[in-house]
Amino acid sequence: MSKQGNEVMPIAQHAVHGVPHQPGAPTVELDDVWVAYNDRLRFGDGGPGYALEGLSFRVTRGERIAVVGPNGAGKSTLLRLIAGTLRPDRGRVTVFGHGPDGHICIAYVPQRSQVDWRFPVTVEDVVMMGRVGQIGLLRRPARADWGLVRASLDRVGAANLAHKGIGELSGGQQQRVFLARALAQEAELLLLDEPLNGLDLPTQNAIIDILDDLRREGVTVLLATHDLDLAAERFDRIMLLNRQLVAFEPPAEALRADNLLRAYGGHLHVIDAVGAVVLADTCCEGE
């Protein structure tokens, strides 16, 4: 059930779609996963051949994971693997016990630079795209589907944007719309690639507050970010990545100086006198 104002909106009833979840399986599991940059590098020309090397980890239901690391660390590649838009060259990726293909519970939000904002579509149409997996590709949305779209927009504070073109929106509004699409999709796994990049602090906090609500509903979140302070303050665990898994622990353990040195290398300066670490700006210009 979903709420719109004081009215309770029923979720539309359709045939069950997507892959059934395996009872007791972790939300996400990677087992010895390797991803090559491309065929030329795969067979060696002196450069690094792999975007990701030997990744193995588990994420459980409702966890909020910050994925951090320098440019080229493989953050976007990792999210695409879990979303099923990229296949590993070696190893295994599972979501709720099955490969990513066929799941309708995964909501993937790429970096804004990868989206064509000129596409002539309204905000409510974008959010309705999240319902396609539940409805079926060739079925028309029911009244209850549209009710859930409106309720999802209202929940992220974007109900007034419903009839605007997606290209008319600010960066923060665009991110709210994509979160509304995930809500309408009834996603159980949310993959966000640099969603807070370029947003002011109040907008960032508003989006994190929405993620707080999703945590209470058991939604699992993996969010790629360069903001180590945000990662330390608002996430359960930090995945420190630089092609290999450097650390995957609670913030205090993950962000130890030795781990940061391994992940960021020359971008990191250790100030021994105060026990502090400083990241050079060049490491954080996007992936």
pLDDT recorded at residue 93: 97
pLDDT tens-digit readout, 119-134? 788 999 999 988 887 7
Give the model's confidence band at 266: pLDDT under 50 very low, under 70 low, under 90 confident, else very high: low
pLDDT tens-digit readout, 75-87? 999 999 999 999 9
What is the DSSP code (8-state) at residue 129?
Answer: H
Q: Is the pLDDT of residue 154 over 80?
A: yes
Looking at the DSSP assignment, which residues form a beta bridge with residue 33? Answer: 55
pLDDT recorded at residue 284: 53
Q: Are strands 220-224 and 64-68 parallel, antiparallel or unpaired?
A: parallel
pLDDT tens-digit readout, 189-244? 999 999 988 888 888 888 899 899 888 889 999 999 999 999 999 999 999 999 99
- Opening angle at CA 132, ends 175 and 84, nearest 5: 70
* Residue bearing the bigger pLDDT, 2 or 95: 95
Neighbours of 202 (CB within 10 A): 9
The structure tokens listed for 233 are 């303050």
> Counting beta carbons within 10 angstroms of the beta carbon of residue 275, is it exposed (0 to 12), middle (13 to 18) or buried (19 or more)?
exposed
Q: How far is CA 20 from CA 48, 95, 100, 209, 216, in A?
A: 38, 10, 12, 30, 22
pLDDT recorded at residue 8: 37
Q: Is the pLDDT of residue 273 over 50?
A: no
Q: Across residues 106-110, what is the average pLDDT?
A: 91
pLDDT tens-digit readout, 23-66? 889 999 999 999 988 654 444 554 558 899 999 999 999 999 99
Rounded Cα distance between 121 and 136, Å, is 20
Q: Across residues 271-283, what is the average pLDDT?
A: 48
- Opening angle at CA 216, ends 16 and 131, nearest 5: 30
Q: Across residues 153-172, what is the average pLDDT?
A: 91
Rounded Cα distance between 177 and 122, Å, is 10
pLDDT recorded at residue 42: 47
The DSSP-derived string for 91-115 is EEEEETTB-STT-SSEEEE--GGGS
Rounded Cα distance between 110 and 132, Å, is 19
> Counting beta carbons within 10 angstroms of the beta carbon of residue 145, is it exposed (0 to 12), middle (13 to 18) or buried (19 or more)?
buried
Q: Across residues 251-276, what is the average pLDDT?
A: 76
pTM: 0.83
Rounded Cα distance between 145 and 135, Å, is 8
DSSP 3-state assignment of 133? helix
The structure tokens listed for 221 are 């979140």
What is the DSSP code (8-state) at residue 89?
Answer: S
Taking a C-beta distance cutoff of 8 angstroms, is the pair 49, 42 a contact?
yes
- Please compute Rg for the chain using Cα positions: 20
Which residues, other chains included, contact 166 with Cβ-Cβ below 8 Å and sequence gap of 6+? 117, 119, 121, 122, 123, 126, 174, 177
Neighbours of 199 (CB within 10 A): 18
pLDDT tens-digit readout, 61-73? 999 999 999 988 9
